[in-house]
Amino acid sequence: MKRLALGLFVILASVSVPRVSPAQEPEAPAADDTGGEKVPAAPADTGPTAGPEIDLSDLGTSEPADTTPGKKAGSSGGTGESGAPRKAWEDIVVVPRKAFLKKYRLELAPFTGITLNDPLIRHYSFGGDLNFYVTDVLSIGVEGQYFIKELSERESLVGAQYYLVPTLNKLKYHYALAFGYVPGYGKFGLFNKWIVHWDLTFALGVGMIRTEIIPRAFGDKSFTNDNIVGHVGMGVRLFVLDWLTLGLTFRDYMYNDAFENAGRKSTDTIEQVKKDSQNHQSQFVQNIMMFFSVGLYIPPSFTYRTPR
C-alpha cells in the first residue's frame, strides 16, 4: 500500500512540475565568448539602451527598457504604459553586433556597369574588383573592365537632322589600382520583419584606359589612345551571407582623351592623324558609370574578436 501511495505521489508531482515551469524566468541565450555564433533573427532595440546615438536616441517620452538586475522577465504579466498587457519579449534587451567583418579578407567582386552621361554613345562594362581589407574599413585592390559600345538613337539622328557626323571615341578596356574606405555602416528593417545590414563605400583609384576613335568617314583607319585615368566612386553594399554581398556603385572616370581631328584629310597617314588629334582635338572627359556587383569573400567566414 505504501508503494501505491508513493506511486500516486510521483504521478501528482510529475503532473504539477510542467505547469510550474512556464512561470520561471526564461533562459537567456548562452553567452558566447568567441562570438562566432550568430543569434538568429533577434529583435533590435533602438531605444536609449540600444546604442550610443547622439541625435535621435534621446527618446524623451519613451519608456526605457527595464534592465534592473534581479527583476524577472516573468513580471510580464504586468501592463505597459498604455494599459495593454506587457509581452514577454518587451523585457528582453538585444543589441546585435556588427553583422559582417572584412578585416584581413579578400573580396572578389565581378561586376557589370553602364555609362550614364553621354547621350550619343553608351558603354556596357564587364569586369571585376579584387580588394584586400587591411582593416574593417580600408581596402587596397585592383579593378579591371572591358567595354562594349552601343550608339544611341540620338547619334543616328544627328546625321538625319543636322547633316553632321558626330566625333566619338569608344572605350576599350580599363584597369586601375584602387583604394576603398567605408565611412559608415547601417542596418534597416525590411517591412519591420527582417534586419538587413549594409555599408557605405568610397573609392579612389588611378589607372589606364584605352579608347579608340570612331572615324567619321566610313573606311578610314582608327587609332587608339592609352590615357591615364583617375576615378572617384561611392556606393552601397548589402550583406547577404558571411561570404556574399551585393553592391551598387557609382564611379566618375576622369581623363584627357584625343578625338579624331576635325581637319582630317583622306591623304593623311594614321600617324599624322593621331598626332594632329592629340595636338588639336584633346578634351577632358568624365564618364559617370553605374555598377552592380556581387562580392565573394575569402575566407568565407569570420570570427568576432570581442566578447558579446
227, β-bridge pairs = 209
**Under the phi-then-psi rule, with left for phi > 0, alpha for psi from -120 to 50, and beta for the rest, what region is 41?**
left
Q: Which is nearer to other proteins, 32 or 45 (CB)?
A: 45
Q: Which is nearer to other proteins, 116 or 177 (CB)?
A: 116
Q: Which is nearer to other proteins, 89 or 126 (CB)?
A: 89
Give me the least distance between CB of 247 and other proteins, in Å please: 15
Q: Which is nearer to other proteins, 73 or 254 (CB)?
A: 73
**Under the phi-then-psi rule, with left for phi > 0, alpha for psi from -120 to 50, and beta for the rest, what region is 154?**
alpha
Give me the least distance between CB of 49 and other proteins, in Å please: 9
Q: Please, are residues 209 and 255 in contact by the beta-carbon 8 Å criterion?
A: yes
**In a 3-state reduction of DSSP, which class is residue 225?**
strand
Give me the least distance between CB of 300 and other proteins, in Å please: 25
Give me the least distance between CB of 280 and other proteins, in Å please: 14
The candidate with the shortest Cα–Cα distance to 238, out of 306, 293, 287, is 293
Q: How far apart are CA 120 and CA 290, in angstroms?
A: 17
Give me the least distance between CB of 307 and other proteins, in Å please: 19
Q: How far apart are CA 267 and CA 281, in angstroms?
A: 19
Q: Which is nearer to other proteins, 236 or 296 (CB)?
A: 236
How many C-beta atoms lie closer than 10 Å to residue 105's C-beta? 19
